[in-house]
Copies of this chain bind each other. A is one copy, B any other.
Protein backbone atom coordinates (compact mmCIF):
# COMPACT_ATOMS: atom_id res chain seq x y z
CA UNK A 1 0.00 0.00 0.00
CA UNK A 2 1.23 3.45 -0.79
CA UNK A 3 0.63 6.09 1.82
CA UNK A 4 -1.93 8.46 0.50
CA UNK A 5 -0.06 11.61 1.29
CA UNK A 6 -1.52 14.64 -0.29
CA UNK A 7 0.02 18.05 -0.58
CA UNK A 8 -1.45 21.27 -1.87
CA UNK A 9 1.13 23.35 -3.65
CA UNK A 10 -1.31 26.24 -4.07
CA UNK A 11 -1.26 27.06 -0.42
CA UNK A 12 0.82 29.42 1.60
CA UNK A 13 1.74 26.52 3.87
CA UNK A 14 5.31 25.44 3.06
CA UNK A 15 5.44 22.04 1.45
CA UNK A 16 7.89 20.59 3.97
CA UNK A 17 5.45 21.50 6.75
CA UNK A 18 2.58 19.93 4.88
CA UNK A 19 4.55 16.72 4.68
CA UNK A 20 5.37 16.84 8.37
CA UNK A 21 1.77 17.46 9.28
CA UNK A 22 0.55 14.64 7.08
CA UNK A 23 2.89 12.20 8.73
CA UNK A 24 2.00 13.40 12.20
CA UNK A 25 -1.66 13.03 11.39
CA UNK A 26 -1.16 9.57 9.94
CA UNK A 27 0.48 8.55 13.18
CA UNK A 28 -2.15 10.21 15.33
CA UNK A 29 -4.96 8.52 13.44
CA UNK A 30 -3.32 5.12 13.63
CA UNK A 31 -2.69 4.77 9.93
CA UNK A 32 0.99 4.62 10.77
CA UNK A 33 2.12 2.62 13.80
CA UNK A 34 5.34 2.25 15.69
CA UNK A 35 7.93 0.50 13.57
CA UNK A 36 6.24 1.16 10.26
CA UNK A 37 8.63 2.16 7.55
CA UNK A 38 8.17 5.46 5.81
CA UNK A 39 8.70 5.75 2.07
CA UNK A 40 12.23 6.65 1.06
CA UNK A 41 13.04 10.28 0.48
CA UNK A 42 13.40 9.69 -3.23
CA UNK A 43 10.20 7.68 -3.51
CA UNK A 44 8.09 10.16 -1.62
CA UNK A 45 9.59 13.08 -3.52
CA UNK A 46 8.68 11.36 -6.76
CA UNK A 47 5.19 10.51 -5.58
CA UNK A 48 4.50 14.09 -4.53
CA UNK A 49 6.51 15.57 -7.40
CA UNK A 50 8.44 17.79 -5.09
CA UNK A 51 12.12 18.39 -4.61
CA UNK A 52 13.85 15.61 -2.62
CA UNK A 53 15.43 18.27 -0.44
CA UNK A 54 11.96 19.20 0.70
CA UNK A 55 11.18 15.65 1.82
CA UNK A 56 14.56 15.41 3.47
CA UNK A 57 13.88 18.47 5.49
CA UNK A 58 10.54 17.15 6.71
CA UNK A 59 12.10 13.81 7.73
CA UNK A 60 14.98 15.60 9.41
CA UNK A 61 12.69 17.70 11.56
CA UNK A 62 10.54 14.74 12.48
CA UNK A 63 13.69 12.87 13.40
CA UNK A 64 15.02 15.56 15.69
CA UNK A 65 11.61 15.74 17.33
CA UNK A 66 11.68 12.01 17.93
CA UNK A 67 8.59 11.27 15.88
CA UNK A 68 10.49 9.06 13.49
CA UNK A 69 13.84 7.31 13.66
CA UNK A 70 16.31 7.16 10.86
CA UNK A 71 18.38 4.00 10.51
CA UNK A 72 20.93 4.85 7.85
CA UNK A 73 21.01 2.24 5.14
CA UNK A 74 17.72 0.69 6.21
CA UNK A 75 15.24 3.53 6.14
CA UNK A 76 13.09 5.78 8.27
CA UNK A 77 10.66 4.29 10.78
CA UNK A 78 7.92 5.52 13.04
CA UNK A 79 9.35 5.85 16.52
CA UNK A 80 7.88 4.71 19.76
CA UNK A 81 4.74 6.67 20.39
CA UNK A 82 5.20 9.12 23.17
CA UNK A 83 3.97 12.51 24.20
CA UNK A 84 6.36 14.88 22.56
CA UNK A 85 5.02 17.94 24.24
CA UNK A 86 4.45 18.46 27.92
CA UNK A 87 1.04 19.60 28.95
CA UNK A 88 2.39 23.07 29.50
CA UNK A 89 4.02 23.13 26.11
CA UNK A 90 0.81 22.05 24.47
CA UNK A 91 -1.10 24.82 26.19
CA UNK A 92 1.43 27.32 24.96
CA UNK A 93 1.25 26.08 21.40
CA UNK A 94 -2.52 25.99 21.43
CA UNK A 95 -2.73 29.55 22.68
CA UNK A 96 -0.23 30.69 20.12
CA UNK A 97 -2.20 29.10 17.31
CA UNK A 98 -5.45 30.55 18.59
CA UNK A 99 -3.96 34.00 18.86
CA UNK A 100 -2.89 33.73 15.29
CA UNK A 101 -6.39 32.77 14.31
CA UNK A 102 -7.84 35.73 16.17
CA UNK A 103 -5.35 38.05 14.52
CA UNK A 104 -6.12 36.68 11.09
CA UNK A 105 -9.87 36.90 11.46
CA UNK A 106 -10.19 40.06 13.52
CA UNK A 107 -10.82 42.32 10.57
CA UNK A 108 -13.22 39.97 8.82
CA UNK A 109 -15.91 41.12 11.19
CA UNK A 110 -17.39 37.67 11.66
CA UNK A 111 -19.09 36.60 14.88
CA UNK A 112 -17.26 34.01 16.93
CA UNK A 113 -20.16 31.60 16.54
CA UNK A 114 -19.69 31.69 12.80
CA UNK A 115 -15.99 30.97 13.15
CA UNK A 116 -16.58 28.07 15.49
CA UNK A 117 -19.25 26.57 13.30
CA UNK A 118 -16.98 26.67 10.30
CA UNK A 119 -14.16 25.24 12.37
CA UNK A 120 -16.32 22.27 13.31
CA UNK A 121 -17.14 21.67 9.67
CA UNK A 122 -13.58 21.88 8.43
CA UNK A 123 -12.37 19.77 11.31
CA UNK A 124 -14.34 16.74 10.20
CA UNK A 125 -12.98 17.08 6.70
CA UNK A 126 -9.53 17.58 8.03
CA UNK A 127 -9.36 14.57 10.35
CA UNK A 128 -10.82 11.90 8.11
CA UNK A 129 -11.37 8.48 9.60
CA UNK A 130 -8.58 6.16 8.59
CA UNK A 131 -9.68 4.51 5.37
CA UNK A 132 -10.73 0.89 5.56
CA UNK A 133 -8.20 -0.91 3.47
Write the residues of chain A forming the contact surface with B, with a CB cutoff of 8 angstroms.
9-14, 17-18, 21, 24-25, 28, 61, 64-67, 69, 71-74, 82-110, 112, 114-116, 118-120, 122-123, 126-127, 129
Helix, strand, loop or mixed for chain A's interface?
helix
Contact (A103, B9) CB under 8 Å given A112-B123, A120-B112, A129-B96: no
**What are the residues of chain B within 8 A of A118 when measuring CB–CB?**
91, 94-95, 98
**What are the residues of chain B within 8 A of A99 when measuring CB–CB?**
11, 13, 122, 126, 129
Q: For the complex, what is the distance from the CA of A82 to the CA of B82, rounded to whole Å?
A: 20
Q: Which of A72, A85, A87, A91 has the most CB of B within 10 A?
A: A85
A106 touches B21 (CB 8 A): yes
